[in-house]
Structure 1
Amino acid sequence: MSETSYVGLSQLRVLQRKLDITANNIANANTAGFKGERPVFEAVEGTRATGPSDTPSSFVLDRGSYIDTSAGAIMRTDSPLDIALGGEGWLQFRTPEGEQGFGRDGGLSLDPEGTLVTSAGAQLLDAGGAPIVVPPGAGQISIARDGTVTTQNGNAIARVGVFDVPDIQSYRRLGNGVLVPPDGGAPQADELENPVVLQGMLESSNVNPVREMTRLIDVQRAYERANAMIDNADNLQRDTLQRIGRS
């Protein structure tokens, strides 16, 4: 295989990675609290083919991705179970599989046991790491800006945990939007001293669908060009070998 083909293959791997990430961003453009993912690549020079005057080939390596932590727009829903964070911080969740992690999806409901859960079934945890359970007969709950949850008669039952997660960029993304520590480790986070919890609000995804669709089209076109480059290089090499064989 020619060096041109190897360069093309490295581009195809990178473009496939971009395609997967962009498609996932688009799929979650309407997911509350979703944070977009951005790929990170590095260009690496290959060896010179003949002499020092030749320009070395450039290969592209996948160096992972990072989480776009910018805030999404805050939307009013007036649902007493919906919450949004009006500033920094992360909500803490426990997934149905038992993994503990963080996210910003405040679209909540009560499960049959009265536990506050997301649409994916992840339990919202309080400041101490326990699920928030609304007792029977509590009536409509109120959630204060500091996260304190009170029943209709004014009894405080919990406080929503809002945390600073310094190493969030190393966390692994689950399909339900929750970010969990790598390698199954314990979450390392500090509770925020002055959180801003907004009841009856939701933070929308920070993904811009139009921008992501433009990226998707650009990636698809680049993928086609890289495939054509590989085909042309392979055809040229095959023709050259055939001519040598006939000489």
Structure 2
Amino acid sequence: MTDRSLYIAMTGASATLRAQASVAHNLANTDTVGFQATLTGTVAAPVAGAGLPSRVATMQQTMGVSSAAGALTNTGNPLDIALQSEHWLAVQDRNGGVAYTRAGDLRINQNGLLTTASGLSVLDQSGAPMTVPPNDALHIGGDGTISIVPQGQPPSTMASAGRLQVVATNTRDLVRGEDGLMRTPPGSNPPPPAAGNVLTAGVLENSNVDGTAMLVSMIQLARQFETQVRVLHSADESARSANSLLSSR
């Protein structure tokens, strides 16, 4: 019985540490625009293998990403956008692939490329990095179309610079990568382009992390870890007492 309690407590403590790391990551992104909290928990997992039917491990498991909407902030910046629920902005990742984000704090770099705040190129409807010509005014419509007043032209002159690639898909159908971007699972079809009103300009969606709830969760996990460590010490003391009794005979 001692080895069973040691194994359960040991795997439980390890899973709790991983869960704490996930909660800490959420807390670190409380102020990150468009960030969606990672959902995590610990589950019981029977150990596979012949002769071990009574062994049960505790495992940390990522349950996905929270689809809750973050609070909206009016900025008045024409390059700031807030996407509708379950809508995603297509960007080019560091490896040249397609990924998705809800971070709407966009920029125009010195080469005229439209990028995210972290420098990722935003894709247009055709899947190419989007460029914005020099302009005196810019407006992003609700359907993602970017209109500009070309530089040196009168305000009444409006021209289309292209349309943002925004897709519609459930959060549970995407997978978050190590870089924080969302992607479709391997072998699945890309999500379809979204039609109609997909965003609001001049507004940013803040992180959906509930800081208070995360702090409470961190405290609960810390107490849980302490309990598991006490079980380890108790089992170790029991084993030492048993060995002492056996050696005294």
Q: Which runs of 5+ in 1 are unaligned?
A: 47-55
In the aligned structure 1, how far is the partner of 2:221 from the partner of 2:133?
51
Deviation at 1:180, TM superposition (A): 2.7
Letter in 2 for 1:217: I
The answer for the alignment partner of 2:159 in structure 1 is 155
Whether the 8 Å contact between 1:180 and 1:187 is mirrored in structure 2 is no
Whether the 8 Å contact between 2:26 and 2:214 is mirrored in structure 1 is yes
In the aligned structure 1, how far is the partner of 2:6 from the partner of 2:206?
42
In the TM superposition, 1:1-247 aligns within 5 A as 2-44=3-45, 59-136=57-134, 138-152=135-149, 153-166=157-170, 168-175=172-179, 177-182=180-185, 188-247=190-249
In the aligned structure 2, how far is the partner of 1:187 from the partner of 1:22?
31
Letter in 1 for 2:222: Q
Deviation at 1:193, TM superposition (A): 1.8
Deviation at 1:58, TM superposition (A): 5.6
Whether the 8 Å contact between 2:173 and 2:184 is mirrored in structure 1 is no
* CA gap 1:134/1:123 in 2 versus in 1, 3 angstroms: same
The answer for the alignment partner of 2:152 in structure 1 is none
Q: Which runs of 5+ in 2 are unaligned?
A: 48-53, 150-156
In the aligned structure 1, how far is the partner of 2:247 from the partner of 2:198?
75
Whether the 8 Å contact between 1:2 and 1:237 is mirrored in structure 2 is no
Deviation at 1:103, TM superposition (A): 1.0
In the aligned structure 2, how far is the partner of 1:215 from the partner of 1:223?
12
* CA gap 1:168/1:139 in 2 versus in 1, 3 angstroms: farther
Q: Secondary structure at the match of 1:151?
A: strand
CA RMSD of aligned residues (A): 2.3
In the aligned structure 2, how far is the partner of 1:196 from the partner of 1:114?
24
In the aligned structure 2, how far is the partner of 1:140 from the partner of 1:186?
39
Deviation at 1:167, TM superposition (A): 7.3
In the aligned structure 1, how far is the partner of 2:171 from the partner of 2:31?
26
* CA gap 1:41/1:2 in 2 versus in 1, 3 angstroms: same
Deviation at 1:186, TM superposition (A): 7.6
In the aligned structure 1, how far is the partner of 2:175 from the partner of 2:189?
9
Taking structure 2 as the reference length, the TM-score comes to 0.86
The answer for the alignment partner of 1:50 in structure 2 is none
Deviation at 1:13, TM superposition (A): 2.1
Letter in 2 for 1:220: A
Deviation string, structure 1 residues 187-211 (Cα, Å, up to 9, x no partner): 6110112232111110111101111
Deviation at 1:243, TM superposition (A): 1.7
Percent of matched pairs sharing the same residue: 26
Deviation at 1:166, TM superposition (A): 4.9
